[in-house]
Structure 1
């Protein structure tokens, strides 16, 4: 394991660069550690196409204000975890939602033995627990803006933008180049083709990932999670509206589940949205994300 510790500043957590193996892949991660003994470690499983550095302000807040250690990381072949040409990647959404989170959790269990682990999943990062091994050891689960969304769930006019992403230049460019050229298309970061195609399939098919169960996905265990679960939605989220978020209630049949809708005006904010829940300017809602 390669670890690099950064200089500690007053009011800042101890930060360590960590390297995690997920199969043959190297995942770049970062551990934020409070100056005192943490009461738990929160693993942030990111939304699709969101780099770990986006969560740094939230991770710092967890460590400094809440005394929680926090781990961020980039999925395989993305962000700081990308090591080769993107067109050569064989990564899929199943790898990001299932295999990489297991590898990170196992690594943290060995790195910080005895410390309770909280799973925080943002968007796709909160949808794979039923397909993962080892979830019975979790102390707490928080999902944010996470749910099996379909194209028809999006409000207009956002639905038109989403349809263009799935049926416009993006699939053609992905087929031609062997990866999604998100930056050139102005739709976000570049992504491995396998991630884009599976993401597209799930979001344009009724039942989301149901068609991949027993094939690309293992059979789920919706009774595996027994710890408290908090499901958080943003009222103004156009990408995964609350009605789609609440569908995940069925993923946690043995857990005590609480729900929370974040309403921008309750925090004096103009908007919260989907990705921006974790933007530093939206810190006013973070207490309700955590639920403590």
Structure 2
């Protein structure tokens, strides 16, 4: 029988207090170790390993980034997680940040590569470093959307997707609903010819993207189901129905990309996983906005215990 999705607000869904978590200023003991992660095809990714700074938690955390976002963005949060006792590994997807090799216009990286090769390698590397048997995958946006094409998905004990959804254009709202078609249908195709990459930096959407990433992003968001649209085309192993690890999605009511409709569109792809939806409302936490990106900012660190509560198994 297919497990039911559960919708809750964070205030009522989690019984915890801020006193359960440690907040203190960064000091040298909480620094990270730079690591190189080797993928099955030999490609090397740049990563950061944060060793637990309190009593060790049983499952290490793999932070998988959003499209075009580098590992440095997650540094404050990753460091805080290590202070809660977690071993943490963050990394840059191939073609992005420290994992870009050569000129961007020459990069052949794709979103499919991120799911099939990069996340898979991150899982294995973290297991080796932490000596654990399974990891918790904490994915931001695209980083939480690709487990269904990851061959070693069984080594993931739980998925916590922050702002995780399919990003289907028809489910977007606000300014993003107007911008996305322009970016996908006009800017990306023209820039692929003129520049050889997707110019997202100019419009404030992270690092510029390898051309195949930009192309697949437009393709996957153009229809419901995101990466499911690649099955039978560039992806020939589909693991979505095999995944039974629990999945939690946290999204904000003011997120223009991870809307409730798009969150549901993502979770329907995992029919045999117990899924949980948690909507955050900015005003309840004293914020004017949370949106798609702010949950990992120091300015919003009062949200971090809400995320950490979902790491429990």
- 1:96-245 aligned at under 5 Å gives the runs 96-114=114-132, 116-184=134-202, 187-245=205-263
- Measure the CA separation in 1 of the matches of 2:87 and 2:229: 37
- Measure the CA separation in 1 of the matches of 2:248 and 2:201: 34
Pairs aligned (count): 283
Q: Report the counterpart of residue 37 of structure 2 in structure 1.
A: 20
After alignment, is 218-227 or 230-239 more displaced?
Answer: 218-227
- Measure the CA separation in 2 of the matches of 1:145 and 1:243: 12
- Measure the CA separation in 2 of the matches of 1:35 and 1:210: 39
Q: Report the counterpart of residue 95 of structure 2 in structure 1.
A: 77
Q: 1:115: how far off? A: 5.6
The counterpart of 2:82, out of the listed 63, 72, 88, is 63
- Measure the CA separation in 2 of the matches of 1:272 and 1:137: 31
C-alpha spacing 1:187/1:45, structure 2 compared with 1 (3 Å): closer
Q: 1:80: how far off? A: 0.8
- Measure the CA separation in 2 of the matches of 1:249 and 1:277: 21
Moved over 6 A (4+): none
Q: Is the contact made by 1:47 and 1:275 (CA closer than 8 Å) also made in structure 2?
A: no
Q: Report the counterpart of residue 46 of structure 1 in structure 2.
A: 65
Q: Is the contact made by 1:92 and 1:194 (CA closer than 8 Å) also made in structure 2?
A: yes
After alignment, is 70-79 or 224-233 more displaced?
Answer: 224-233
Q: Is the contact made by 1:234 and 1:242 (CA closer than 8 Å) also made in structure 2?
A: no
After alignment, is 84-93 or 147-156 more displaced?
Answer: 147-156
Q: Is the contact made by 1:14 and 1:35 (CA closer than 8 Å) also made in structure 2?
A: no
Q: Is the contact made by 2:166 and 2:224 (CA closer than 8 Å) also made in structure 1?
A: no
Q: Is the contact made by 1:142 and 1:290 (CA closer than 8 Å) also made in structure 2?
A: no
Q: Is the contact made by 1:27 and 1:74 (CA closer than 8 Å) also made in structure 2?
A: yes
Q: 1:14: how far off? A: 4.1
Q: Is the contact made by 2:31 and 2:79 (CA closer than 8 Å) also made in structure 1?
A: no
- Measure the CA separation in 2 of the matches of 1:197 and 1:203: 10
The counterpart of 1:87, out of the listed 105, 112, 120, is 105
After alignment, is 14-23 or 150-159 more displaced?
Answer: 150-159
Q: TM-score if structure 2 supplies the norm length?
A: 0.84
Q: TM-score if structure 1 supplies the norm length?
A: 0.89
C-alpha spacing 1:121/1:186, structure 2 compared with 1 (3 Å): closer
Instruction: Name structure 1 gaps, 5 residues minimum.
Output: 1-8
After alignment, is 11-20 or 272-281 more displaced?
Answer: 11-20
- Measure the CA separation in 1 of the matches of 2:121 and 2:134: 16
Q: Is the contact made by 2:33 and 2:49 (CA closer than 8 Å) also made in structure 1?
A: yes
Q: 1:226: how far off? A: 2.7
Q: Is the contact made by 2:68 and 2:205 (CA closer than 8 Å) also made in structure 1?
A: no
Instruction: Name structure 2 gaps, 5 residues minimum.
Output: 1-25
- Measure the CA separation in 1 of the matches of 2:201 and 2:246: 39
Q: 1:257: how far off? A: 2.2
Equivalent residue of 1:72, what SS? strand
Q: 1:281: how far off? A: 0.9
